[in-house]
Amino acid sequence: MTHAIIFDTDPGVDDAQAIAIALAHPDIELLGMTTTFGNVTIDVATHNALLLAELAEQQIPVAQGAADPMVKTKNPPPGHIHGDNGLGNIALPETTTHAVSQSAPQFIVEQVNARPGEVTLVAVGPLGNLAAALQLDPSLPRKVKQVVVMGGSIREGGNVTPVAEANMFNDPHAAARVLQADWPLALVGLDATHRCVLDPASMEKIVAGQPRLGRILGESYAFYRRFYQQAQGIDGCCPHDSCALAWLLQPELFTIQEGYLSVITDGLAEGQTLLAPLSREFVDSRWSIGAAKQVCMDANGPAVIEWIVDTLTRNG
Ligand code: RIB
Ligand code: CA
């Protein structure tokens, strides 16, 4: 089955790995990329999305999106994790292509309306573009095929605060709108992505299998790996954003729980994601806003890594 997707991203080192998968996998039709602030500023995000498509020698529309959160004050981008240029501060060529004239929300609404029921939105950064697209076309939830979000954490704890995952923390108001909308949505959060470690030997295979993107993937990984070694004592990195595509293509590698999602938008716990399991009644209807969602609560980490490596070495 071919998946027609729009990839919403803040590239970012792990985003770049996932973009390489989206560009390479034979069962993915990449309709376009929409960019957001998050790991980097919006200009850097757009530059990196354009550059990766160019280097892959594919003509993929890139629509620029959110430069800031909906409500809160933007946090500075984590240059110590992804590099100030979003790709490990490695030398990068200039881009020769430009973003399309539509904004990211306009691009999403146009593409979904052109192919109702066929388009999957895969969002791996803060969710401002999807929230704005919902505002632009409130009927969107009935027209998308599905939404896959990399973000959140139910039992795993946070990676930016003790309770909040980065994409949710960076724009909690947008996250609340997206995770509580009436559309079919799967959340691939830290409960799943922390079970997956892209080790150096696997990355070496990927570099060898990607003649066009190999240098960027390998050298940006080296920067990201140093952060994981220092901050988490892990020799490798969690390929968070590639896990969203792994769920889409290989859902059997993940353990799902169904329920209602909510996001804390203010105060100490801002960005925390909460799950009210479908299987239980709760005292207050506030816990069941919007349609029930599919939430990844675990993953077969080695099998996910094997899928990532297989995808990127088989489709160079
Ligand atoms: O928490 C991990 C997520 O935040 C990933 O999408 C990573 O790229 C950053 O955006
Ligand atoms: Ca990301």
Other CB atoms within 10 Å distance of the CB of residue 288: 17
**Residue 176 Cα to ligand 1 middle (Å):** 17
- What architecture (CATH level 2) is domain 3-313? Alpha-Beta Complex (3.90)
Most ligand 1 atoms within 8 A of CB, residue of 167, 171, 296 to mutate: 167
Provide CB contacts within 8 A for 284, sequence distance 6+.
none
The pLDDT score that the predictor gives to residue 7 is: 99
Q: Report which ligand 1 atom has the smallest distance to the Cα of 165.
A: 1
Q: What DSSP state is assigned to residue 84?
A: T
Ligand nearest to the CA of 193: 1
The pLDDT score that the predictor gives to residue 282 is: 82
**Residue 282 Cα to ligand 1 middle (Å):** 31
In whole angstroms, give the CA distance from residue 229 to residue 67.
30
Q: What is the pLDDT along the chain (316 residues), one digit of tens a residue?
A: 899 999 999 999 999 999 999 999 999 999 999 999 999 999 999 999 999 999 999 999 999 999 999 999 999 999 999 999 999 999 999 999 999 999 999 999 999 999 999 999 999 999 999 999 999 999 999 999 999 999 999 999 999 999 999 999 999 999 999 999 999 999 999 999 999 999 999 999 999 999 999 999 999 999 999 999 999 999 999 999 999 999 999 999 999 999 999 999 999 999 999 999 998 888 788 888 888 999 999 999 999 999 999 999 998 7
> CA 79 → CA 3, 52, 184, distances in Å?
33, 19, 34
Binding pocket residue ranges, ligand 1, CB within 6 Å: 10, 12, 14-15, 38-39, 124-125, 150, 159, 165-167, 240-241
The pLDDT score that the predictor gives to residue 285 is: 81
Catalytic position from the list 10, 14, 171, 191: 10
Instruction: Give catalytic status of residue 3 as yes or no.
Output: no
> CA 237 → CA 138, 197, 198, 220, 301, distances in Å?
37, 5, 5, 11, 12
The pLDDT score that the predictor gives to residue 290 is: 83
The pLDDT score that the predictor gives to residue 64 is: 98
Q: Report which ligand 1 atom has the smallest distance to the Cα of 240.
A: 5
Amino acid at 141: P
This model's pTM is above 0.85: yes
Alpha-carbon dihedral angle through residues 28, 30, 35, 40, given to the nearest 10 degrees: 50
**Residue 93 Cα to ligand 1 middle (Å):** 24
Residues 135, 139, 143, 146: is their CA dihedral positive or negative? Answer: positive
**Residue 38 Cα to ligand 2 middle (Å):** 7
Give residues whose Cβ lies within 5 Å of ion ligand 2.
10, 12, 15, 124-125, 241
The pLDDT score that the predictor gives to residue 37 is: 98
